[in-house]
Amino acid sequence: MKPPSALCSLNHAERGRLRGVDGRSRFGAPTSTLLHVIFTCPHGPGSQSPAAPLKGGGAGTGPPGSLRAGTAVAPASCSCAVVAMEDSWSERFHTVSPLLRSWALSQMVGTDVFLKCENMQPMGSFKIRGIGHFCQEVARKGCRHLVCSSGGNAGLAAAYSARKLGLPATIVLPEATAPQVVRRLQGEGAEVLLAGKVWDDANLQAQTLAQRDGWVYVSPFDHPLIWEGHSSLVWELHAALGTPPGAVVLAVGGGGLLAGVSAGLLEVGWQHVPIIAMETCGAHCFHAALEAGRLVTLPDITSVATSLGAKTATAQALVCAQQSTILSRVVQDAEAVSAVQRFLDDERMLVEPACGAALAAIYSGLLGQLQAEGRLSPSLASVVVIVCGGNNIDSRQLQSLQTQLGQT
Ligand code: PLV
């Protein structure tokens, strides 16, 4: 191999792949920092480095952000070049999560159902994608203290990111937050404050604290960098599946995951793929907004799916409704919790009720209903369920939820 040379072997398309619309990578790093090494390739035009194969769901076929971490690709236009990519924050905080075919759910739906296992992310939910990205960006810009309001999972992602970045973090949560979540946050070195009944109360407190000098407010769902980080999930689906699924099922709280997935679908050219947006009754601010045609603030959060418990969705969620096909459905808490139990039995994974809301699209037969109503194709290529994960659950909590909901 020759020593590093210039970047001139990249053609326009490859440069575009590495660059966002503003000339920076989609994850914010200037393009130049993405490329450290170009060296001669022994494998011919368009070949892939044996050290970093691109096919089969590897990060390399994804967006610029996922090309980091040493992925190598030979530009098709260049007769013998391998480009190894690294960047100043190649230590992306999230992982490429597994995409597993569920036999049980596929049987139920009558087509392949794939689970995008975000429960296997560091800190147990998809939140690390967007929050990790956001925190890295603000750290780069001189943030000295992160303060995040959360129903649990965003806070855990922020605390984890803060520790990795060497920044102090304060996480503000509702008073009823589960003790295991508080302990885990403290284990990450974060200061934990409990304030108010629901997330909106805790959020007010976090926003007040964020006025301190050098402190930066981390929203759990409402920032373009968060949506950008979440969109990496769709690029991974694109790399792994190759062909578009018939539908993507996800849970909606404040709408950050929805915004990221909708943006990602647009980016990969899958904007026609319907998103089935699931909420629980009592935490259904997005469904209410769609019905009203404007943002709606719920009077209270009454669902047990507390991490879906934002009283008002992000305005971006309504923008998504314009750019994507969104089928919004609301399930009862009992259906979400029953889905948690059935998923545990089927897949041996314990997820929280917020995630149960998404799983209920299948366990409660909603997918079939949407097909019968003609809103979804009767012959779906495949279905992807985003197993968003969550920490607000353990075996005892599941039992007590079932008792509370009359399921035992
Ligand atoms: N939970 C946020 C907001 O809570 C949090 O701080 O934990 N599934 C899981 C497991 C989640 O934790 C969340 C958000 C969602 C789904 C919904 O994501 P969103 O808010 O981006 O729509 C109040």
Which structure tokens are listed for 124?
């147990």
Q: What is the rounded CA–CA span in Å between residue 168 and residue 189?
A: 8
pLDDT confidence of residue 372: 96
- What φ, ψ does residue 33 adopt, rounded to 5°? -75, -10
Sign, Cα dihedral of 186, 189, 191, 196: negative
Q: What is the rounded CA–CA span in Å between residue 273 and residue 275?
A: 7
Beta-carbon contacts of residue 105 (< 8 Å; ≥ 6 apart): 113, 115, 346, 362, 383, 385
Q: What is the rounded CA–CA span in Å between residue 376 and residue 383?
A: 11
Which structure tokens are listed for 359?
């799983």
Helices 256-268 and 127-140, axial angle in degrees (round to 10) = 90
Atom of ligand 1 nearest to the CA of 148: 6
Distance 243 CA to ligand 1 centre (A): 28
List the end-to-end C-alpha distance of the chain, in Å, as a whole number: 65
Distance 37 CA to ligand 1 centre (A): 39
232-271 exposure pattern, b = at least 16 Cβ within 10 A, e = fewer? bbbbbbbbbbeebbbbbbbbbbbbbbbbbbbbbbebbebe
Distance 405 CA to ligand 1 centre (A): 22
Tens digit of pLDDT at every position of the chain (408 positions): 233 333 223 333 333 343 333 333 444 333 333 333 222 333 333 333 333 222 223 333 344 344 333 333 333 333 333 233 334 445 799 999 999 999 999 999 999 999 999 999 999 999 999 999 999 999 999 999 999 999 999 999 999 999 999 999 999 999 999 999 999 999 999 999 999 999 999 999 999 999 999 999 999 999 999 999 999 999 999 999 999 999 999 999 999 999 999 999 999 999 999 999 999 999 999 999 999 999 999 999 999 999 999 999 999 999 999 999 999 999 999 999 999 999 999 999 999 999 999 999 999 999 999 999 999 999 999 999 999 999 999 999 999 999 999 998
Among 147, 132, 116, smallest CA distance to 65 is for 132
> SS3 of 403, please?
helix
pLDDT confidence of residue 364: 97
Whether the CB of 154 sits within 6 Å of ligand 1: yes
> SS3 of 302, please?
coil
CB atoms within 10 A of CB 108: 17
CA angle 301, 303, 306 (to 5 degrees): 80
pLDDT confidence of residue 248: 98
Atom of ligand 1 nearest to the CA of 230: 21
Which of 97, 135, 153 has most ligand 1 atoms within 8 Å of CB, for mutation? 153
